A and B are shown apart, each in its own frame.
Chain A
Amino acid sequence: MKIRHPHRWVIFTLLLGALAIIPLRPLDRLQFEVTSLLPADERDPAVQLVRSFATQAQSRTVLLVAEGVPDAAAAQAVNRIMRAQLAEDPAVAEIWGLDPAQLDESALDSWKVHAVEWFWPQWWDSAGRPTDLEAIANRALDELETFLQRPESFAWEDSVTTDPFLLVPHSLGRLGSVFSIDTGDHEAGRLRWWIKMSGDPFDASARQKLFHALDRAADAVREEIPEVSLQSTGVAQLADASETGIRAEIYRLNWLVGISALLICALFLRRLGLFGPLLLILLASLTGGTLLVFLLNAHLHVITLVVGSILIGVAIDYGLHVFLEAKAASPVERWKRVRRPLLVGSLSTIGGFAVLLLTELPFLRQLGSFMAGGLLAALGASLFYARFGTIRETPVYLLPKLRWVEFPFLRTILLVVAGLLVCGIARIEWNDDIREFNLAVPSADARDAAVRAAFGEDKGTHSLLLGESWQALHDSLEEIARRDLEIPVSSLGVWATAPRLMVEAHAAMRDQPFASAFEQALAARGFEAEAFAPFFEQWKAWIETPLSRTQAEQIASAQFASLPGPVALLAGESGDLHWWLLDSPQPLEAESMADLSARWLPLAQLQSLNDALTRYREQMVRASFYGLSALAIGLLLGYGVRRGLILLLLPALPTAMSLGYFGWRDAPLTLFHLLGAFLSVCLTLDYIVFATSARTENRPLPVSISLSAFTTGVSFAWLATSHIPAISALGATVAMSVAFAWLLALALTGASSLPIKQSLR
């Protein structure tokens, strides 16, 4: 069968593919936040907590600092302007100046209404859990009279009739022991605000609204007080910088890889007529990859597109194989000659990427489907050209002769270098960190560090307690207290009321005539008992409502939900997960925090998600094992035991050399080095297959293999320049492996394989 104008068929198929992509709405399904790289159903509490942070107040926090405030009058003016500009802006949900007054004031309303229900059990517990009503009344009134003798008690006189036990002031005091404000701003010429944005910080339009609001506020301040400078930071700013950087990274790498691949072809081939088909093969690969990834995945993380730039460099190899090796008398013979080596070479690579579909990490599944789909499409287009295309002989242009390439030494040098590098594997250490996925944006990171420094760097360290209930967290605090640690630990646990205590206090007072006893005590002390009606109403409502542990847990949740502004960041819940922050002056030892009712987690671990990523790396090892096992079986069956083993072990050598290099550099390896190693074996297999075949047949290594190594190697080398550490690791591992594999192929086949010695064939 003969097809006229095969290019038109390829273009037509490309257009069909492009049209099929449109209804998949690819742009709406792109993700940028790092947490979306992890599985949505991940049960690791650390991952769950990080996910909840991404959707709750923690991610909506913006820290704002004004520096250079000349005097107190200017400070007042700046505060007034900032509040006027931001408090009513729809992009801002809350704004808090960091002064004690505002933080305390906002909590008072709900606390006054729930004082008895939330805080009386703690008063009762601190008083020794008395059951004698007269003792309770006298103790409370002694405290009240002592308090009223303080001149500043005027500020609380409104609340006395509702809160004669002074539950709210005591609660504020306990909160102050956990969360204190540095009030030295005036002296430092500085003002600070904690802001909660209304929208999602990972939504570009919500971020822009916030930034515009902050810009307007800053302009208004500078108009009145020009010497004041304002800076802000938060997840919104960092996400924006990261997204901008990643977009630039995608464009940069894709253009570099594409141009490099075409330049290599131009340098060696110099036949303009080839660029059309090669370009169509590249477009087919991108279309096929995009189509498959959005068919198999609900979302696509942009990091996949960063890595996916290598698709160009790998897909072009198939075209090179066809146009450089497909010369034959007839299309049918050409087809028979090219299909087997092309299929052998490509299917190992495609199979390697397809194995990633078995992993849990969404990013790896997306990468696997993108690359497998792209390479399949490129393979299809290449095979189509091989069968139906018009292929003319393609001259391969030569580099100038390089006299210093004395091949007899190449094998010796390679052997020595290989031996040395492989020994570095013994020095390998693994360290997985979610921050490897972060694009470093120096300007944003510097601003973030400066603003956080203005907010005061913690002199202590933080960790987290995670539990299934608030009571589990309280139990853990008691366990920690019993362990008598040398390092003191503070948390919101000293402020919050334990659910079990709520139930016990309620049970102790339920059947007691406390209201009448307290009324009599008030009168005896010279108080107007009827003025305390609001308190008695609260008491009655509390004591007459049954209270179970479940209800007590809900009350505890409401208590935490009442925390104002930045204080609310110290504790939280998400589904079954409850947590609060622990603060200690020095890092706590893991052994001292083992076997608690709740799980203890250093914050550093939360920042790195080391455990989860280590598990994913172990999965990658298993997936690689399965993939390589399948590959091994194929090779053994196809080439026999002896040659099959050689073909299996030889590609492992360049990969081992790459990993050994990192070992010698004492660079900790990550999941992405492992991914690169696995892909290296798959990618370099066809170099070795062709090299051993050529050696057996006493002919040079096909030029297409060298060109393929160049384009693939350069693609991954550009990837190694990425500012995202994970991508850079992947690129460096594969680029080095490809380079070593090509040298190995040369060593196997001899000097005649060098492009400098090959000519028109």
Chain B
Amino acid sequence: MPARPALRPGFLFLLATSLCPQVFSAVPPDLESPEFQLDVTALEPVWRDRFEALRVDEPVAATFLESRKNSFRKGARTFSGTIRVDPQRGVSLHYAEPLDVILVGAIGTLWRRPSSGEWTAYPAPDDGSIGDWTAGLWQFDFPALAKEFAFYGRPLEGQAWELFLTPRENFRLPEIHLRAEDSRLTRIDLELSPTREITYDLKEFDPSPEVGDWDRYFPPTPKP
């Protein structure tokens, strides 16, 4: 039985939807070839097993280190915290440093709660980049994702592998680069534009977290 998947990147995708249109491709030239392109409707068994293992059916949690780079600032800004994924309620990012803030994404809306405060709705631009396919991310529904993205994947050393998702037509969507070790995601790169990038390094994966206090990490609004 495969190990519990570490993370679903659905919410992180939503975080990236304040997008600049971008027409570049972050897929490495050597990967962007039919040899590495994946057809999600006809996956090889090894890729099918990898995708199956990523799907989250029970709550999971992990710590993360987020790094943001952009054109107007030298160097990167870093944030750290804990991510919690609940198939019923969505994804919650609890930022511990530098500020104690919890963020939860919903379609078109971002919910925010400071460490000791109430939930407030924060505008997330509804630029059309969030569509029906977004819901598929919560379930890691690859057929739904395949409508908007082309998949390129290849194995790396040992049990590691990487996956590139590149938008087919809607170039407001980001380029996504996933790295995983066997059935656990270890890194996610979101390239929003040639000048903006967000990277998540995932550590301390907890496949069976204690969910008794998870109510404080999710707003009362049900997830879309």
Number of A-B contacts (CB under 8 A): 98
Q: Mark B153-197, 1 if CB is under 8 A from A, else 0.
A: 000000000000000000000000000000000000000000110
Which residues of chain A have C-beta atoms less than 8 A from B224's C-beta?
72-73, 75-76
Is B127 an interface residue, CB under 8 A from the partner? yes
Give chain B residues whose Cβ lies under 8 Å from the Cβ of A152.
101, 103, 110, 112, 122
Q: Which residues of B contact A526 (CB under 8 A)?
A: 73-75
Q: With A and B bound together, what is the CA distance between A517 and B121 in angstroms?
A: 37
With a cutoff of 8 Å between Cβ atoms, the chain A residues found around residue B72 in the complex are 160-161, 527-528, 531-532
Asked if B20 lies at the interface with its beta carbon under 8 angstroms from chain A, I say yes
Mark contacts of B196-210 with chain A using CB atoms, 8 A cut-off: 1 yes-contact digit, 0 otherwise: 101000000000000
Separation of A149 and B122 alpha carbons in the complex (Å)? 16
Q: Mark A261-283, 1 if CB is under 8 A from B, else 0.
A: 00000000000000000000000
Minimum distance in angstroms from B118 CB to a CB of chain A? 12
Q: Which of B108, B127, B196, B220 has the most CB of A within 10 A?
A: B108
A204 to B195, CA, bound (A): 54
A101 touches B126 (CB 8 A): yes
| Nearest CB on A from B151, distance (A) | 25
B23 at the interface (CB under 8 A from A): no
Interchain CB contact (< 8 A) of A161 among B16, B71, B123: B71
Report the separation of the CA atoms of residues A155 and B112 in the bound assembly, to the nearest whole angstrom. 13
B198, A99: Cβ atoms closer than 8 Å = no
A100:B123 contact, CB within 8 angstroms = yes
In chain A, residues 179-233, which have Cβ atoms closer than 8 Å to a Cβ of chain B? 181, 183, 186-187
A172–B125 CA distance with the chains assembled, in angstroms = 13
Q: Which residues of B contact A532 (CB under 8 A)?
A: 72
Among residues of B, the one whose C-beta sits closest to the C-beta of A106 is B126
- How close is B115's CB to chain A, nearest CB, in angstroms? 12
Central interface residue in A154, A157, A526, by most chain B CB within 10 Å: A154
- Looking across the interface, which residue of chain B has its beta carbon closest to that of A185? B221
Q: Which residues of B contact A100 (CB under 8 A)?
A: 109, 121-123
Does B125 lie within 8 Å of A157, measured CB to CB? no
In contact, A154 and B125 (Cβ under 8 angstroms): no
A window 99-155: CB within 8 A of B: 99-102, 104-105, 108, 148-152, 154-155
The answer, yes or no, to whether B48 is at the interface (CB within 8 Å) is no
A532 CA / B110 CA spacing, docked (Å): 27
Could you say which residues of chain B place their CB within 8 Å of the CB of A73? 224
What is the distance, in angstroms, from A641's C-beta to the closest C-beta of chain B? 82
Are A101 and B123 CB-contacts (below 8 A) given A151-B79, A151-B95, A528-B74?
yes
Chain A interface, DSSP helix/strand/loop, else mixed: helix
Chain B 1-29: CB-based contact to A (< 8 A → 1; otherwise 0): 00000000000000110111000000000
What are the residues of chain B within 8 A of A101 when measuring CB–CB?
108-109, 121, 123-126
Task: Check if B98 is an interface residue, CB within 8 A of chain A.
Answer: yes
> How many of chain B's residues touch chain A, expressed as a range?
35 or more
Chain A residues lying within 8 Å of B19, measured Cβ to Cβ, are 158
Residues of B contacting A187 in the complex (Cβ-Cβ under 8 angstroms): 220-221
| Residue B212 interfacial (CB < 8 Å) | no
Given the known interface contacts A71-B222, A73-B224, A158-B20, the answer about A531 and B123 at a Cβ–Cβ threshold of 8 Å is no
Q: B70 and A72: CB pair below 8 A?
A: no
Using A99-B121, A105-B123 as known contacts, say yes or no to A72 and B223 having CB atoms under 8 A apart. yes
- Whether the pair A154, B221 counts as a contact (CB closer than 8 A) is no
The residue on B at minimum CB distance from A160 is B72
Shortest Cβ distance from A529 into chain B, in angstroms?
Answer: 9
Residues of A within 8 Å of B, CB-based: how many?
A: 35
Minimum CB–CB distance for A83 against chain B, Å: 11
Cross-chain contact B18 with A157 (CB below 8 angstroms): yes
Residue B50 is within 8 A (CB to CB) of chain A in the complex:
no
B40 interface hit (Cβ, 8 Å): no
CA distance in complex: A591, B126 (Å)? 46
**Does the CB pair A183–B99 fall under 8 Å?**
no
- Give CA–CA (A255, B98) in the complex, Å: 80
Residue of A nearest to B77 (CB): A148
CB of B56 within 8 A of chain A?
no
The verdict on A625 contacting chain B, using a C-beta distance below 8 Å, is no
Most buried by A among B71, B101, B123: B123
A251 within 8 A of B: no
> Which residues of B100-135 have CB atoms within 8 Å of chain A's CB atoms?
101, 103, 107-110, 112, 121-127, 132, 135
Q: Is the CB of A158 within 8 A of B18?
A: yes
Task: List which A511-535 residues lie within 8 A (CB) of chain B.
Answer: 526-528, 531-532
| Contact mask for chain B residues 62-89; partner A; CB cutoff 8 A; 1 contact, 0 none | 0000101011111101010000000000
Q: A528 is contacted by which of B73, B124, B135 (Cβ under 8 Å)?
A: B73
The 8 Å CB contact of B127, one of A72, A105, A149, is A105
Residue of A with least CB distance to B109: A101
Say yes or no: is A626 at the interface (Cβ < 8 Å to chain B): no
Say if the beta carbon of B137 comes within 8 Å of chain A: no
* CB atoms of B109 and A154 under 8 A apart: no
A100-B123, A187-B221, A526-B73 known; 8 other A-B pairs, CB under 8 Å? A76-B107, A104-B123, A105-B127, A151-B99, A156-B18, A161-B71, A528-B74, A532-B72
Q: Which residues of B contact A (CB under 8 A)?
A: 15-16, 18-20, 66, 68, 70-75, 77, 79, 93, 95, 98-99, 101, 103, 107-110, 112, 121-127, 132, 135, 195-196, 198, 220-224
Complex A-B, nearest 7 residue pairs according to Cβ-Cβ distance, in ascending order: A104-B123, A531-B72, A101-B108, A155-B18, A72-B222, A151-B95, A531-B71
